[in-house]
Amino acid sequence: MAERPDLDYALPILAEALSGRVIEEVVVKDPVVLRLMEEGTPEELLVGQRVTSLARRAHFAHFGLSGRDLLIAPMLAGRFDLGKRGGRRRKDTVFVLGLGDVELRYRDDVRMGKVYVCPHERWTDIPGLGTLGLDALDPDVFTLDAFSARIRKRRDQVRLFLMDKSEVDALGNAYADEVLFEAKVHPKTRCNKLSDAQVEALHRAVPAVLAGAAAELEARQPPLDEKLRDFLKVRNRKGEPCPRCGARIRVAGVRGYDSFFCGSCQRDGGSSGLIDWSRVGR
């Protein structure tokens, strides 16, 4: 899934390549990803539009155009790619904008992402963008008080809270697991059962994990269409040794999503009814 660090890395590169350019061509390879929030065809709505701004909104890339807005949520498998106009496109390309000699390609081999076209100021009507959570990398906003006030109101599993983009801007599946690992909190712990020390640990871990990922991407400069994840400590590492204690990384389902964690350093605390893995051996 393209998450905040991926978008924070990719968007300045896209802005550099596309800002000020005019859309001359639109190719919709798979209309299933497209959501038009005004009357008209994609060509009528997009051709002739100039790219004026580019910003991240939760897990969306928000292209400000001269007459309307274009927002793309890459979701599970979506990725951006820049290419030469008329050059060879990968098979998983679903949406293309031609701007001068450059092409912006949106690739998504599972078609779970969405491309929205909407009038200015209507982007907040897009599902998931009505209310944005605390910006985790703005220390003036993401204070311990503000974070505690939000997490203390919830009774559901802490991983669901962390992934709720109306609460925290923004963590997806991969970085929620990394934050829980960093804070040594079991993913199924109920928010109302967290100790003050655990809330403080989570509050420290959220920006630390996101900033760490941002620094990693910045240092390694991966190609735009590559999702660099090899530095993650627990995500997709089932059965591998925990980098902190050596116990094996386990997987639990939280509302249908896999959550990766260390059963030894992320203790359940008895609040979720899970087996205490540390007692049944490794």
Tell me, letter by letter, the H, E, C secondary structure of the chain: CCCHHHHHHHHHHHHHHHCCCECCEEEECCHHHEEECCCCCHHHHHCCCEEEEEEEECCEEEEEECCCEEEEECCCCCEEEEEECCCCCCCCEEEEEEECCEEEEEECCCCCCEEEEECCCCHHHCCCCCCCCEECCCCCCCCHHHHHHHHHCCCCEHHHHHHCCCCEECCCHHHHHHHHHHHCCCCCCEHHHCCHHHHHHHHHHHHHHHHHHHHHHHHHCCCCCCCCCCCCCCCCCCCCECCCCCCEEEEEEECCEEEEEECCCCCCCCCCCCCCHHHHCC
Residue 183 touching Zn ion (CB under 5 A): no
Residue 173 touching Zn ion (CB under 5 A): no
Closer to Zn ion at the Cβ: 151 or 252? 252
Q: How far is the CB of 199 from Zn ion (least distance, A)?
A: 21
Q: How far is the CB of 244 from Zn ion (least distance, A)?
A: 4
Residue 248 touching Zn ion (CB under 5 A): no
Closer to Zn ion at the Cβ: 19 or 278? 278
Q: How far is the CB of 194 from Zn ion (least distance, A)?
A: 19
Tell me the window of 42-50, 88-96, 261-269, 272-280 that interacts with Zn ion (CB under 5 A). Answer: 261-269
User: Which one of residues 107, 163, 262, 277 is an interface residue with Zn ion (CB under 5 A)?
Assistant: 262
Residue 242 touching Zn ion (CB under 5 A): yes
Residue 21 touching Zn ion (CB under 5 A): no
User: Which one of residues 146, 245, 251, 274 is an interface residue with Zn ion (CB under 5 A)?
Assistant: 245
Q: How far is the CB of 278 from Zn ion (least distance, A)?
A: 9
Closer to Zn ion at the Cβ: 82 or 249? 249
Backbone φ and ψ for 278, nearest 5 degrees, come out as -65, -20
User: Which one of residues 78, 117, 264, 268 is an interface residue with Zn ion (CB under 5 A)?
Assistant: 264
Q: How far is the CB of 92 from Zn ion (least distance, A)?
A: 36
Residue 49 touching Zn ion (CB under 5 A): no
Beta carbons within 10 angstroms of residue 271's beta carbon: 16
Q: How far is the CB of 181 from Zn ion (least distance, A)?
A: 8
Q: Site residues (CB under 5 A) for Zn ion?
A: 242, 244-245, 247, 262, 264-265
